[in-house]
Chains A and B, each alone.
Chain A
Amino acid sequence: MEHSESKPLEQELSRLIVQTLKLKIDPATIQPDAALFGDGLGLDSIDALELSLAISQTYGYQLKSSDPDIKAIFSSLRALANAIVKNRTK
């Protein structure tokens, strides 16, 4: 159920990432399983903070570093989209 919902959300989220962080890439080229930080898109902690604000405003989900799954959540577009499905309040 979650999985089938996350597909359009992945696309929506990749657009949000590209817009929020002003990346010069086509949102459709972000691979759902590729790393967002480090070697993947090369995002850093300032990006994480800006992205977290956009996610909070769009989906009403406040990210926390103390979440034991935080590394997994930020590991890829798919993982982030799944976390939003589970935690969104709007």
Chain B
Amino acid sequence: MHDTPLIGPYSPDDVLALEPDGSRTARQFVSDVVRLAESLPNRLTVINLATSRYEFLVGFAAAILRRQLTLLPQSRAVQTLRRIAGDYPESYALTDRDDAIDGIESVAMQQRQGLAPWPNEIPLVPLNQVVAIAFTSGSTGQPMPNKKTWGALTAVAHATGSRLGIKSGDRASVVATVPHQHMFGLEASVMLPIMHGLVMHAGRPLFPADILSALADVEGRRILVTTPLHLRACMTEGVRMPPVGLILSATAPLSQGLAQEAERHFHTEVHEIFGFAEAGSVAERQTTAGDSWRPLDGVRLQSSERGWTVETDYLPAPVLVPDRITVDAQGLFVVHGREADQINVAGHRVSLGDLNQKLLEVEGVQDGVFFLPEEGSDFVTRLMAFVVAPGKTSEEIQRALRTHIDPVFLPRPLVCVPSLPRNATGKLPQESVRELARQWLAGLGHGT
């Protein structure tokens, strides 16, 4: 295993990132990383909570140089962070704002003064060094750690770049609406730009007007890394956007209709990435060109007894694909849906069975079930829940749930009902729950 440089082809004075107060050159970046690395506490793991994408990268790189592992929690919910800090007692939190988390040692990233000299050689990182852990919901409801090596992150960045025709040193700029602590965000908005010598916008625009101004901030070819939700919001608002060279979407399937609309609106191609936390990005497609996904170079799909697996040189073992797929003779594949119990809300995957279990553990809840209504609007579809809990209000149950599950999975709405339509054997047929949801949604808006 050999070592590769921390960043791609930048000259010292090339702009690497754009912060609201100005640009950060590669020279500044390397200096910031070296300075921060000197001041980090002597720990094994770090929860990097930086809100600026650039500060996140500085913290991530400094941790790598100190051989510390960066933990990527599924959300910033305090409960989630405390649970992860409990599982990794050698952790501290790295923040770029006054947002220390109660009960977790926090280190604030200070404004760094001056410039360290440009080194003779960009710091090197061993390909087999584990640099990050991404968490997914495990079958027991406990967060499952997925180790990411430097080799895996750099291989995905290079494979994605070559698939999308991103040339090293073409000085394109990446604007991203996705969080950098999310696996796709880390790969597409952090690793992709720094491995290709691109400019990274440090912000995380949310509203269409924010996306417009972030795109207007940057020069050269613009690459927008985003999700169907943000694209739908931009279409709905009809904001006139500056020219974009490429749109990369992930976290949820993009519909043909929205992809066509977005390609017209932005005058560019919309490409999608298929991936999951256990393996990272594994395939790509131009949505308007068809349903088939083309695996990234180096990704091999293998049929196994358990289903299709992904194999690569950088993954230590084959990883099971969490969706039902069919693979054609050319190795392209079509996704037919998730494995029975798995659902995905805003890029976060979870087992419905686990959520139901958590619901039943709430005091006063006698029976209850989560339900994901039909998707397809390109908006985030939230879960619903039907709960039997005499004497409890919907708000009380929500409050109790909030401490146990990721906020993105909180039901909208949580409906209290006298009983659930269980059949004679005590089973709750999916069709009955769907009918319950249909009735409830039909009544929505006619009073509460």
A residues engaging B (CB < 8 A)? 18-19, 21-27, 42, 44-46, 48-50, 52-53, 56-57, 62-66
On whether the beta carbons of A42 and B402 are closer than 8 Å, the reply is yes
Interface residues of B in 328-387 (CB under 8 A from A): 346, 379-380, 382
Check if A46 sits within 8 Å of B398, measured CB to CB.
no
State the CA gap A50–B448 with chains docked (Å): 21
Stretch of B2-10, B103-111, B270-278, B405-413 on the interface side: B405-413
Total A-B residue pairs with C-beta atoms closer than 8 Å? Answer: 66
Chain B residue numbers with a CB within 8 Å of A49 are: 206-207, 229-230, 233
Residues of B within 8 A of A21 (CB): 412
Which one of A22, A52, A56, A63 contacts B382 once the chains associate, using CB atoms below 8 Å? A22
State whether A26 touches B346 (Cβ < 8 A).
no
Q: Which residue of A lies closest to B441 (CB)?
A: A22
Question: Complex formed: what's the CA distance from A19 to B213 in Å?
Answer: 29
Which partner residue on chain B sits nearest A28 by CB separation? B448
Q: Report, nearest first, the 5 A-B pairs whose CB atoms are least far apart.
A: A24-B413, A64-B209, A65-B210, A22-B412, A62-B209
Name 17 A/B residue pairs within 8 A (Cβ), A-sorted.
Answer: A18-B448, A24-B414, A42-B410, A46-B380, A46-B408, A48-B206, A49-B207, A49-B233, A52-B207, A53-B236, A53-B237, A62-B207, A62-B208, A64-B210, A64-B213, A65-B205, A65-B207
Chain B residues contacting A22 (CB-CB under 8 Å) are 382, 412-413, 444
On chain B, the residues within 8 Å of A46 by CB distance are 229, 346, 380, 408
Chain A residues, Cβ within 8 Å of B239: 62
Residues of chain B within 8 A (CB-CB) of A48 are: 206-207
Given known contacts A24-B415, A42-B398, is B408 in contact with A53 (CB within 8 Å)? no
Given contacts A19-B445, A62-B209, A63-B209, 10 further A-B pairs with CB under 8 A are: A23-B412, A23-B413, A24-B394, A27-B448, A42-B398, A45-B206, A48-B207, A64-B213, A66-B210, A66-B213
**Residues 166-209 of B contacting A (Cβ, < 8 Å):** 205-209
Interface residues of B in 385-420 (CB under 8 A from A): 394-395, 398, 402, 407-408, 410, 412-415
Q: Which B residues touch A23, using CB under 8 A?
A: 412-413
In the complex, chain A residues whose CB is within 8 Å of the CB of B415: 24
Within 8 Å by CB of B394, from A25, A27, A44, A56, lies A25
Give the distance in Å from the alpha carbon of A24 to the alpha carbon of B411 in the complex: 10
- Say how far A6's CB is from chain B's closest CB, in angstroms: 22
CB-CB under 8 A for A50 and B445, given A23-B412, A42-B402: no
Flag if A24 contacts B448 (CB, 8 Å): yes
For window 403-448 of chain B, which residues contact chain A by CB distance below 8 Å?
A: 407-408, 410, 412-415, 444-445, 448
Docked Cα-Cα span, A10 to B255, in Å, equals 36
> In the complex, what distance in Å separates the CA atom of A90 from the CA atom of B136?
44
Whether A64 touches B207, Cβ cut-off 8 Å, given contacts A46-B380, A50-B379, is: yes
